[in-house]
Every structure is written in C-alpha cells, then in structure tokens.
Structure 1
Amino acid sequence: MTVEAITLGCRLNFAESEALKARAKDNSIIINSCAVTAEAVRQTRQAIRRARRERPDARIVATGCAVQLEPDAFRAMPEVDEVLLKDFDRPAIAAGFRQRVRSFVAVQTGCDHRCTFCTIWQARGPSRSLPFEAIRDAVARELEDGAAEVVLTGVDITSYGGGLGPLCEKLLAALPNLQRLRLSSLDSIEIDETLFALIAGEPRLMPHFHLSLQAGDDLILKRMKRRHSRAQSVALVERIKTARPDATIGADLIAGFPTETEDAALNSLRLLDDCDIIAAHVFPFSPRPNTPAARMPQLEREIIKARAARLREAAAKRRSVWLNSLVGSTQPVLIENGEKGHTDAFAPVFIAGSKRGDTGPATITGLKDDILVGVFA
C-alpha cells in the first residue's frame, strides 16, 4: 500500500514530509499542517476531510504547526487516526524532495524571535541547527539522486549556528558537484559578512534573494517587533545589487497589520519600488491565537483585503515590467518539469522540446501569461 503526504505551508514542511513518509506505516496519509494564517489552518482541516473521503481505508496522520498548536482540536476530528507532535529536543530533518531537479534541504528549525503576529516559534520551539556533516550528507544524497539545484530551507536559516554564510561556504567547498545553491527566505538583519562575500563573488550561489521584510513603515515594524527599520531594508537591497548586479529581490509583506494607517500602508506600497521587489508574497493580516498582535486594535476585514489587493496589484505590475525587460536577452536556465523551469534569477521559463534537467543559456523570445518563452542558445 502507498504512503502519501499532503503538505501545506513552507518548504521546510515539504522537506520534513519526505522524511516522515519514509517512516510511516503502509496505507498512511500524512497531513503536514501550516499555522501561519487562519486560512492555512482551515485548509488543513479541509485537506484532512478530503483525504478521508478519497481514501476511507487509509490511516490519517495529522502533524505540523497547526497540529502542534491545537493538538486536542485535531484529535477530536473523527477523520484523524493519529496526531504526531514534534519533539523539540530533536534536531530538524535534513531531507529533500526525492526525484526532483530542485531539492529543498532543511538546515534548521525553530525560531528565537518573538514577532508579535507569529505563532511559529510556539509550534516549532527554539532555533536548532543541524550539524554541518548532516547537511553535507543530505545535500550529497540529493545530488546523487539527480538534483541539479539545492535550496537550503528552515524557519529562520539566517540564524544558523555559526552563520549561514560559513555554512554555504563549507558546503560549496566540500561538494564541487553542487553547481546551483539557492537560499529560502532570509531575515535581512541577520545576513553575515561571509554571505555578503558569497553574494558578490560566488557564481554557484543563485542570485535571487527572498527577504522577510513584512512592512515598510517604521512604527508598524516596531509593533511587529521586527528588528530592522525601513531604511535598513532599502540599504540592504542597495548593497546586494551593488555586489551582484544581476540579483533579484523577493519579499514577504503583511497588509493590514493592527493600527496600520493609510500612510503606513502607503509606506509598504512604496517599498516595492524602493527595494526593487519583483516577487512579493502578500499576506492579509490574520490574528493568530495567543499573540500580542491579536490583542491590538484590529482593522476591518474589508480594509485589510483592499490593502492586500492593492499591494498585489502593484507587485504584479512591477513583476510584469521585469519579465518584459528580459525578452531579447540570454538567461541561464534550469528545466525542472514539463518543459518549464526558471532562470538563475528565478524568472519562470517555458522552452518547447526541453526535458527535465536540461540547463544552459537560453535566448528569451517572448512572454506569455507571465511566463518567459525561450530557446536554448
């Protein structure tokens, strides 16, 4: 019988699901949950119910952040056979997507920060980093299994013990066949000098950097208990782009945080231009249980939805301009699946006739439905 994993949320969850599948009993369905928003929790419950309808004889195992925060609520669901909770004394699981061209390898889990909107530190505990040897061996296995690109992931990878930069430096030195190393979301205030040096001079480090910015207004950042200012965000991006002119920037942004005024919301909107963000993940604020932000004066849901929509619309326009600017250029590309892949700077590309794992420079001939069209040069 098969073991299936249904994974919601972050890339760390996907990496962990692979390890959980290897340990699961036959005929199991693992639902790896997310708690970042109320909508994510709703989707988790929906996924559990759908799994039971589709495979009534399967053993349903619920795990992940939402389950960690509300274990009794998930135990009470008649569809759930087992609730699997994390042991905070055990390190994260260094595992990747098997048989994938791009593989995600976990290097740490947990978080030592206390952003006022977030419950993930409660769900995952304090930051714990894997030993270098475990990470190196996990990356080596992924490369042996056919991965052409490895993405380091975790809850807060810039808090990696000893520094994320030194970890990347050691990995690249130990594994010459690691030709494409990419990083998941970065806490901008924690980027170390070794990582800056790699950004500037290491071509095997892919030039797309996704930053956990969250807002572009200093008062809102303070109420979020973030540790950076708006000016620091702008200065960081300027430094990255000076060091690596081909670098592109993605960012997480929250719309409608409690007490956010229209002027504060406009500051976040202007951050798209000021930080040259071409890949924005916009989250409408969702109050999470037992967080300081849930006790702050809340905005009306319609205002939150409108501000999120405005941010997304502006971000989509910026992204479209960026993608159009690449037409006529030559870009390094990795094909991942179904003739589709990404450039090094993480622009989506379609190349007719290509196959999984193809890589090399491609001439960009057009743009269709926000996906570049190209041919290998």
Structure 2
Amino acid sequence: MSDTLIAPEVGTAEGSAPPKRLFIKTYGCQMNVYDSERMADVLRPLGYATTDQVEAADFVILNTCHIREKAAEKIYSELGKMREIRERKIARGESRMTIAVAGCVAQAEGEEIMRRAPAVDIVVGPQAYHQLPELLTRTARSRGERIGADFAPSEKFDAMPVVRGVKGYAAFLTVQEGCDKFCSFCVVPYTRGAEWSRPVVDVLAEARGLADQGVREVTLLGQNVNAYDGEGADGNVWTLATLVRALAEIPGLDRIRYTTSHPNDMSEDLIEAHAEVEALMPYLHLPVQAGSDRILRLMNRKHGRQKYIDLIGRIREARPGIALAGDMIVGFPGETDRDFEDTLDLVRQVNYAACFSFMYSPRPGTPASTMPGQVPGEVMKGRLTALQALLTGQQTAFNQGQAGRTLNVMFDRKGRHPGQAVGRSPYLQSVHVDGADHLLGQIVPVRIEQGSQNSLKGTIVGS
C-alpha cells in the first residue's frame, strides 16, 4: 500500500492569524490522492493550511484504501500512533488534535472503527467529504452524530469549492466514481457504490480552473473511467471520448490522460480519440487481471482472453507506438499451473510498458473470499516472482528502447541534484535532465540518452 502526504502550503499573510494545521495521510490509488486534495480545499475556508508534520497538526485525516490486504489493521496501528501524539500534545498544554478516518475503510467499517478506536473523532466515507466542516464543528462542540458515510456522489461534488488549491503543472480530475462490474475479488462496488458520472459542465469548469492555475496535464480519474456517461448541457449523454475532445480545446491544457479503464468499456469512439486527439497521451492503463479464460470467468471479469488481445490489437492499429500498462493478480482461488502459464503467455503477447502485479488476498464479503481452492502463500510468491521478472524485463526493454529518440517532456519538479529537473514523457516515464530546472512548467524536446528500469535520462535538444 502506497501512501502520500499532502504538500505543505505557504503561510498566512503578514498580520493575519496563524492558520490551523491539517495533516492528511493518503493510502492507495490516485482517486484517494484527488480526494485528499479536495478535502484540503473544503477545509481551507475554515482556516486550515496543510502541513507535513503530524506533530504540528490540529486536524489529522487518514484517507484509507480497502484494496490491499490487512488494510484495516494497518489503519488501527496508525491510529494508535496518532493517539500517542495527541496525548503528548495535551501533556504539553497544546490544543487537542482532532483525528478522522476517511476513505474506503471508513465506508466499510465505520461503526467498528468507532468501537475499536475511541480516539477517532470523525469517520467519513468517500461520498461525504463535503460534510467535513459540519462534522468538525460538531466534534468541537462535543455533540451530534460523528459518522458521515452515506451520501450521493452528486452531493459531494456540488458542495466542493469550484476553485481548487493545486500546486504544480499536473493534476488529477475525478470524472466518474463507483463500479457496477462486481468482480468477485473486489470491494469497490461496496465501498464506492454504483457507477456515477459527473455532469459535463462541472468537469469542464474544474478543468478550466486548473488550466488557469498553470496546470498543463490532467489525468481523468474513475473506478471505471471509460464508462463515463455524464450529462451534457443539452441533456445528451457524453462518452469519455466526447469529454476528452472538449478538454483538448481548453487553452493551456496540453496533455490528457485517464485511468483506470475496463476492457468492456473501451468503446470504438475512445479508440478513435487515441488516433485523432493529439493531447491524449499515447499511454493506456487497461487491466486484464489474468490470462486464463477459466480464471477470468471465476473473477467475473465478463471478458475473455482473446477479446482482450483483439482489443489491444485495435488500439495499437489506431495509435501505433502506444504504451500499454495493466494489472495482474496471481494466485486467485483455483488457479493452476496451467492457468498461470496462460497469464505469462498473455503478458508475452501484449508486451507491457508497465504493469502492476499482486498476489491475491481475500476481501471479507466478496465472493472470492469463500471460493474453494485458495492457493497456498508460497505458491503465490513463486508465481509472483516469475511474473514480475517477465514484466520487469519488458518495462526495462521499453525504456531502453527510447534511447536515441527525441521526446517532448513536461518538466514538473526539481531533481535531486543541483540544476536537475524531472519531467514526464508522453509514455508517463520519469525523465531526468541536468541543467533544466529553469524549465519547470514547460514542454520541451529532450533527446533520450539512456533508459533504465524506472526512468530515462536525456539532454535538451539544442542545448
């Protein structure tokens, strides 16, 4: 499980009261990163500025993810640390630190969290972040309901500030939430709810606001983002492809990406957009999860091996050179050596530029958790090692294959060395360039000198 801290903000203006401090620790996916940013936005009018020092915080939010194994137990361990920090602050005579649990673990285990961790003041699910100011006020007054978990997604987005407090030149933008696929291993339909798409006018307004703040690259987010079917101003339904074409017309917004997709929602108009919209980057994350038809049926993926391979062929025909990324699960209940060989064979056929791979772990309440044929841990570890060796070789070869090419790189952060800058290639690779820290926020041609497993190194063309 990855975690992210919201970056600290600049202090208040001279003469104003010192801000209250907000510390957010984010676990899991890009949508949680987006949600954390929006929680910071909704709390900013209350005088909260973000900090990366938990000891300095007046309000701590753990924005949780329920996808990985033992996620809840890790949160309880973290809550124990937060309680100890709060007790130290109180002993020093400082103000009482408020503790909140947000995200999918909060949605799935709200009452249990309050029972097991009485130090928690607020539990708030993914669709109730707009209630944070009210919940915080209630907590401060020590009265009223402390759990806010069940609201429609539209209520959340309607209550969010229109202008976001973004920093940097790339940003996430949630356009769709929830899932109707009910894969047998996944908790998302139970924690995020049914598929729901934001209205077009709201998405475009937020995107224009991002562009006005200097954002040049936006990644559209959704549990099944290519299932987007938002309502347009004229009442017609827009597909993700239609939305991408409209976003590409926004001045200053030069790059568009989206994640995560489902093969069954990869429509022909979206494939055409990859061929025709220059701003849509040649990188596609399209999870398959397994290469065995038998396992795909047990997973309830509703697509087969050959359908996925044929789909990849059509995408590559439309956008030659596109980089493909995916997700793989090994050790799903009932997986045999033959099933696993089918997965390795599919990986060889697709030839991924990047791929996330995991051992299966049961989620309480999901159909797969009670399926027969649970694979022993040592067997799963061996299969994961073999799969990752193959995937690492493919990723390294793809990166090394960029040597000698000139790629347009968007520089978005300084590197570790003086004068160095790091940017994003069209294929989402990190590109390190010396003497380029004056180019932050710009998209410039870079000649790639070498590629490694995780990044590229190059020089500015003409420098």
Q: Hey, what's the Cα distance between the residues in 2 that align with 1:325 and 1:248?
A: 12
Match for residue 136 of structure 2? none
Match for residue 178 of structure 1? 253
Matched, 1:200 2:275: yes
Alignment CA distance shift 1:81-1:284 (3 Å): same
Match for residue 294 of structure 1? 369
Q: Hey, what's the Cα distance between the residues in 2 that align with 1:247 and 1:350?
A: 22
Q: Hey, what's the Cα distance between the residues in 2 that align with 1:80 and 1:18?
A: 21
Alignment CA distance shift 1:130-1:266 (3 Å): same
For residue 199 of structure 2, the aligned residue among 131, 149, 160 is 131
Match for residue 153 of structure 2? 90
Q: Hey, what's the Cα distance between the residues in 2 that align with 1:88 and 1:228?
A: 32
Q: Hey, what's the Cα distance between the residues in 2 that align with 1:325 and 1:167?
A: 33
For residue 146 of structure 1, the aligned residue among 190, 214, 223 is 214
Within-5 A mapping of 1:82-121: 82-85=122-125, 86=127, 87-91=150-154, 93=157, 98-121=166-189
Match for residue 33 of structure 1? 64
Q: Hey, what's the Cα distance between the residues in 2 that align with 1:50 and 1:359?
A: 43
Match for residue 323 of structure 1? 399
Match for residue 6 of structure 2? none
How far 1:104 moved relative to its partner?
A: 0.3
Match for residue 131 of structure 2? none
Within-5 A mapping of 1:177-326: 177-297=252-372, 298-326=374-402
For 1:165-199, what per-residue CA distance to the aligned partner results, in whole angstroms no more than 9, with x for missing partners? Answer: 122122223x1332101111211111122211111
For residue 113 of structure 2, the aligned residue among 46, 69, 74 is 74
Q: Hey, what's the Cα distance between the residues in 1 that align with 2:454 and 2:387?
A: 18
Q: Which runs of 5+ in 2 are unaligned?
A: 1-19, 49-57, 90-95, 128-149, 230-237, 415-420
How far 1:126 moved relative to its partner?
A: 0.7
For 1:236-259, what per-residue CA distance to the aligned partner results, in whole angstroms no more than 9, with x for missing partners? Answer: 111111111120000011111000
Alignment CA distance shift 1:172-1:36 (3 Å): same
How far 1:78 moved relative to its partner?
A: 3.6
For 1:345-367, what per-residue CA distance to the aligned partner results, in whole angstroms no more than 9, with x for missing partners? Answer: 12221111223323211001123
Matched, 1:155 2:231: no
For residue 10 of structure 1, the aligned residue among 16, 26, 29 is 29
Match for residue 58 of structure 1? 97
How far 1:128 moved relative to its partner?
A: 1.1
How many residue pairs align between the two structures? 376
The amino acid that maps onto 2:220 is L
Alignment CA distance shift 1:353-1:83 (3 Å): same
Q: Hey, what's the Cα distance between the residues in 2 that align with 1:143 and 1:149?
A: 9
Query: 202-211 vs 334-343, which deviates more?
Result: 334-343
Identical pairs, percent: 29
Query: 309-318 vs 18-27, which deviates more?
Result: 18-27
Q: Hey, what's the Cα distance between the residues in 2 that align with 1:159 and 1:208?
A: 18
How far 1:296 moved relative to its partner?
A: 0.6
Alignment CA distance shift 1:42-1:148 (3 Å): farther
Higher relative contact order (CA 8 A, sep 6+): 1
Match for residue 351 of structure 1? 433
The amino acid that maps onto 2:390 is A
For 1:131-185, what per-residue CA distance to the aligned partner results, in whole angstroms no more than 9, with x for missing partners? Answer: 0011111111111222110000011111111421122122223x13321011112
Runs of 4 or more consecutive aligned structure 1 residues displaced over 6 Å after TM superposition: 94-97
Q: Hey, what's the Cα distance between the residues in 2 that align with 1:354 and 1:302?
A: 47
Could you say what secondary structure the match of 2:153 adopts?
coil
Match for residue 451 of structure 2? 367
Q: Which runs of 5+ in 1 are unaligned?
A: none
The answer to whether the Cα contact below 8 Å between 1:117 and 1:224 also exists between their aligned partners in 2 is yes
How far 1:308 moved relative to its partner?
A: 1.6
Alignment CA distance shift 1:243-1:275 (3 Å): same
Query: 106-115 vs 158-167, which deviates more?
Result: 158-167
Match for residue 334 of structure 1? 410
The answer to whether the Cα contact below 8 Å between 2:399 and 2:453 also exists between their aligned partners in 1 is no
Alignment CA distance shift 1:359-1:171 (3 Å): closer
The amino acid that maps onto 1:7 is T
How far 1:368 moved relative to its partner?
A: 5.0
Query: 89-98 vs 257-266, which deviates more?
Result: 89-98
The amino acid that maps onto 1:70 is E
| TM-score (structure 1 length as normaliser) | 0.94
Alignment CA distance shift 1:66-1:184 (3 Å): same
Q: Hey, what's the Cα distance between the residues in 2 that align with 1:290 and 1:17?
A: 27
Q: Hey, what's the Cα distance between the residues in 2 that align with 1:342 and 1:183?
A: 15
The amino acid that maps onto 2:207 is V
| TM-score (structure 2 length as normaliser) | 0.77
Q: Hey, what's the Cα distance between the residues in 2 that align with 1:46 and 1:271?
A: 39
CA-based RMSD of the aligned residues comes to 1.9
The answer to whether the Cα contact below 8 Å between 1:109 and 1:128 also exists between their aligned partners in 2 is yes
